[in-house]
Amino acid sequence: MTTARTLFFTAPKQIDLRETPLPDLKEDEVLVETVCSAISAGTEMLVYRGQFP
């Protein structure tokens, strides 16, 4: 089974990077690899700071 590195916001200003198993693909599905990603100054930073309801 393939895994993905997944970012979890566990508490204000705390994150956890985990290897998460991916489900097997169905015949009409594809797996897209993300080369890079960023935390936006909007929603993700509010969640990181604990300011998102």
Q: With contact defined as beta carbons under 8 Å apart, do 2 and 31 qualify?
A: yes
pLDDT, position 30: 95
How many CB atoms within 10 Å of residue 20?
Answer: 12
Q: In this predicted structure, what is the pLDDT of residue 1?
A: 67
Neighbouring C-alpha atoms within 13 Å toward the C-beta of 9: 13
Strand partners, 3: 21
pLDDT < 70: residue spans in the chain: 1
